Amino acid sequence: MTFLRDNLTSAEKARRQGDVVHVYESYERLAIHFMNLKDLRTGVFFYEKCLEIARISRNQDFELAALENLGNAYYGLKEYARAQENHELHVQLVKALRGAATTATAELTTVYQQVALQHETSGDFPLAIATHVKFIQCAQESQDIANVAVGQYRIGCCYNAMQQPTDALVYLKDYLVMCKNMNDVPGECQAYAALATTFEALGHKQQAMEYLKEYLITAEKIENIPAQAEACRRLGMLYSANREFNLATEMMERNFDLIKNSTKSDSSLLDQARISLGVIRAHEKFSAFVEFVTTDIEGFLQWKASRAIESKTS
């Protein structure tokens, strides 16, 4: 309490004397103090005071610091819209004063990513895409190729969610190429899964299956068990739709075994896998029965007729 009282008293005294530098420094010390105590809300309050003093005194160096600190503080509070607002102003001012803004742009990139993900979570995919575009632009300015790739992937996924697979295709193919160039195997795995979704939505089942096969192979390389299980499940569903029941059963059995043997096995996923496998096996048996009947229809009719005669005589 003494620290708080002393700095507030010092700030008020300096304000009366017109010493804006001392006022700013007092508020900044208080902001840092509360940020270190993890009291981010109070820290934000004093950083807002810093920004107010910086603008009143037209001290752009102070304004730069206050905007950056406010952006980081709001980010810590997970108030990403406010973080975005302050970081955007910070980047604009840095560019106006110094030309280059690499560090400031990198911070803004991180904020855009969180804002875009919030929009995705709320189902506002057009706004998410618009924010991902800003995210990519910032990443390009920072020469952050990995984040440029991430932005391409997220936009592709948004278009898939909006049932616009043609638009998704461009971004996801670019993402796959970038992942291969960066030797990002987990990224390749994601790309194959998303591209399979895209081609399935376009009605190109064969291409979807090819991407799912690549998804499975890549998931095996990095020992990603959940991804392997998902690839097997999705392949099983497509094989079943194509009436390739032997292959469908094989994939569903692998899906079931992967989930069953996983150390992080989810009982609901295991139940779902068991049911799916049972359904596919039933389809396989029914298909075999239909094939047996239809391949020798004359023999079947004769057998049926003989059964009818036996029934009458008895």
What is the per-residue pLDDT across 94-108, written as a single tens digit (0 to 9) for each? Answer: 988 887 777 889 999
d(CA 53, CA 268): 57
Query: 248 CB contacts (<8 Å, ≥6 apart)?
Result: 236, 237, 239, 240, 280, 283, 284
Instruction: For residue 282, give both structure tokens.
Output: 């039933």
Is pLDDT at 140 greater than 50 in this prediction? yes
What is the reported pLDDT for 252? Answer: 83
Are the C-beta atoms of 165 and 159 separated by less than 8 Å? yes
Q: Greater confidence, 242 or 49?
A: 49
% of the chain exceeding 70 in pLDDT:
83
DSSP-based three-state secondary structure for 263: coil
Q: Write out pLDDT tens, residues 189-248.
A: 999 999 999 999 999 999 999 999 999 999 999 999 989 999 999 999 898 888 777 788
Least confident of 248-257, 259-268, 287-296: 287-296
- What are the boundaries of each domain within the chain? 224-314
Is pLDDT at 287 greater than 80 in this prediction? no
d(CA 107, CA 306): 83
Angle value at C-alpha 302, between 300 and 305, nearest 5 degrees: 110
What is the reported pLDDT for 99? Answer: 75
* CA-based nearest residue to 185, from 145, 155, 214, 142: 214
Are the C-beta atoms of 215 and 190 separated by less than 8 Å? no
Is pLDDT at 279 greater than 70 in this prediction? no
The CB-side HSE value for 293 (13 A sphere, CA atoms) comes to 8
Q: Write out pLDDT tens, residues 156-206.
A: 999 999 999 999 999 999 999 999 999 999 999 999 999 999 999 999 999
d(CA 68, CA 236): 51
Query: 82 CB contacts (<8 Å, ≥6 apart)?
Result: 70, 74
